[in-house]
Structure 1
């Protein structure tokens, strides 16, 4: 095949959904994970982990290599682990729509609370493959706090609320940065039971980047993630689910695991156009 006859990257992405999925379908193992996990990419990764439709992978298999998504990422995109497996083409013994009744969700929440010895956090649920994803609780009960109330827990934050000084918050960020040897993300703080929630840092310093700047944690030079148009639109849909409405540019700045606002302005005529292309409408 002549070089000018070889398909372009865009053509591969249009045909297979993403370059990551293209590599798996061609029998190659990607060198690293995609810059943003779409459902298509997760399905491709899960399909690569198993051998036959009736022998799906287990959650522990995700830890084999960094090219696979974490369980929390899977739960963020799908209703449950079983739903993700089903989307990847595996035969699951129980359909998610038949499994997650309100009673089952509450029973699971109480059992988790008993095993933890405290009120569960959404992140605890996200890391438990035997439970429905946090978004399922939001869908069934209206919100995570509403689910906690139904299960008999108080809706206040876990632990005794306390005031943190600027120095304590800065020290906490520096400690996390030293432990993980990189610039902390909000998800790093969420997964640390000993740390204040990300909202505490945002409320005190204005934004997450401002909190990092106050702690003198400078971003290391990294190659900018290469997002496809599909990645960008999927990220907006994910953001809409998180804020439960059509998102704004301000919402996008609050989450450091999503593309930066400037990326949308470079790829679309306006942010409004990006919302419309993603099936969202800022006026509804």
Structure 2
């Protein structure tokens, strides 16, 4: 039975209405007109409608981009209100820069979930897919060590052999899932399952491939999947 997560005592004591009033007060530090004036001034300095990243890098802008989004819902909605043309097209280089900066923030290659969690702060996953064909291809072009195509299965088999040595037997799906929770660079168990695409029994087919790799490395694997190390 999973224990309910205990909240910090300070969180338990928060007055919901007082918190809402506090947040509202913070938002009132800038009026909508003040924010729109900031956007127009930044566009004039830049010579074009600013992206959120360009606005954040503008040393003369005093409003944070997140404040703009909180007031207007989205970055482009704010720019339209300011009479500025939203920049519908982001260059390939700009997309790659966004991915690299997100990777620096995370300390690893970004995932789809990471991108979706930053909706409004960076390009959409659909634009990345449209531009590069897949997130994996985009990440590889951005300089991340991300296998694509046949490389993905090859990497998964190699990772499976390493995990099998750690476990002393061929990895089960639940064990792979647990390993990935410790090492997010691993593919998910379902990515591996779908990639093998041998039905029925895709995971056992993957275990077979791992066993063959171990045999190549001189490791004997018993019928029940145990390794003779």
Could you tell me the TM-score, scaled by structure 1's length?
A: 0.32
| Higher alpha-carbon Rg | 2
Higher share in helix: 2
